[in-house]
Structure 1
Amino acid sequence: MKLTILGCTGSLGAPKGPASGYLLRGTRGPAVIMDFGPGTLAALQQVQDPADAHVMFSHLHADHCMDFPSLMVWRRYHPASAAPARNLCCGPVDLPARMGRLSADIEGEVDDMSDSFAFVPWRNGEPETIADFTVTPYSVVHPIEAYGLRVEEPSTGRVLAYSGDTGWCDNLVELARDADVFLCEATWGDEPAGKPEAMHISGQEAGRAARLAGVRQLVLVHIPPWVDDQATLEAARSEFDGEILLGHAGMELSI
């Protein structure tokens, strides 16, 4: 499994890169895009044909999905590389309505995405086969319907866990159990004191989740541009003594 970070800044795009978006490639099947925030389509064009990929979403806040309408334009209207067939799109149950409203030409209408994607809604704890991967969504704590995603590659046994956006909850640890790589948000920086509950976690909490889950490698993502990256990293190290990386746009990992 190969992971390419298209972007991973928290809450919005930043000079250092796009908002949340990740590209997964296995050994045989089509690529899989995991979240698709502002700026990620431009980054995707450098490494992957946008018309040849499945798409899955952790949740539908703008920083995780707003390049999807532009992807629909590429897939439908590119003069040389339009999508030759449908791909899968997995996510929260209201995804077709939310994204359809953004793509519609007339106020109040909902663009039908079924010409380009076959939609499958997530169901907590129920795995889906997507290209070379088995993906299991875990409900997490956020102001809207949101999931952490556990991505397993049956041919190798490798596991990538992705927190999505979440406050502290039991499923954060369960989805990452024994993962080879854990992409974990750290929006609140070094520690969560004084921050709203049930929304995001800190670097300290990301490190704690990695330790409790027994992961091999922790990659900190979703850090806003106004947050101190190094302080966030040190906070994670106070809880987890395994390998920790700061995620960044263009990072590639073989898992």
Structure 2
Amino acid sequence: MVQTLAVLAAAVLVALLFADPAIAQTVAPPAAPVPNAGDAIDRALGDLGGNGEAPLALSLQVLIIMGLLSVLPGILLMMTSFTRIIIVLSVLRQALGLQQTPPNQVLIGLSLFLSFFIMAPTISQINTQAIQPYAAGQMGATQMIEVGGQSLHAFMLKQTRKKDITMFSDIAKTGPYATPQDVPFSVLLPAFVTSELKTAFQIGFLIFLPFIIIDLVVATVLMSLGMMMLSPTIISLPFKLLLFVLVDGWALTMGSLANSFVS
């Protein structure tokens, strides 16, 4: 089990860090293959998994796994739809005036499984075009990483604003690019995160508006009645919950978030 997790974690980390669609254009053509050399990544994963002539010690494998597991969640969550969803749900909870309901664990679970739903076409494409051919021995690990990276690159590119890509490419002094597919992950990743944050706050602003109106109406009524010491938040909370339930707010929010990734 430890060896399998090590191989999987190493493959995913290498795919995220080095699956750059611009590498093929910037790196010189490879030299003629050396007999019995094989794929470098295949040999590295084989040594990590214990299939090579000098497998890594168990303690070193555990150390590598723990190091990868501390980095991979952050990388994977920032390259998927998770960021936008968790921010919108947090803003929604704040707009309702609820501090810990739903709790953080529930919001994270909703965001995670909704992210799986949204990313299902991309994951299926990576599995069909990269993972299954690699498992069948039809392609090497390097080609698998390149093919799988192209699917993830295409998803992130659709959700990223051009001006964000231009900003980070100017900072890195790597642009302009001939085609969108030439944008490297080093530029696309920060641009994607920036675009996701902006989109999430735009959706959150629209969610906040009807609840602010309810707060204003309740505060005005209480002031006109002379109830200065009564908190408007306590009175407006049941009305906001009633409005949210009547419009089927959770289904509307989840459906709107899922549709926001459709292009």
TM-score range, shorter chain: under 0.3
Bigger fraction of residues in strand: 1
Bigger fraction of residues in helix: 2
User: Larger C-alpha radius of gyration, 1 or 2?
Assistant: 2
TM-score normalized by structure 2?
0.22
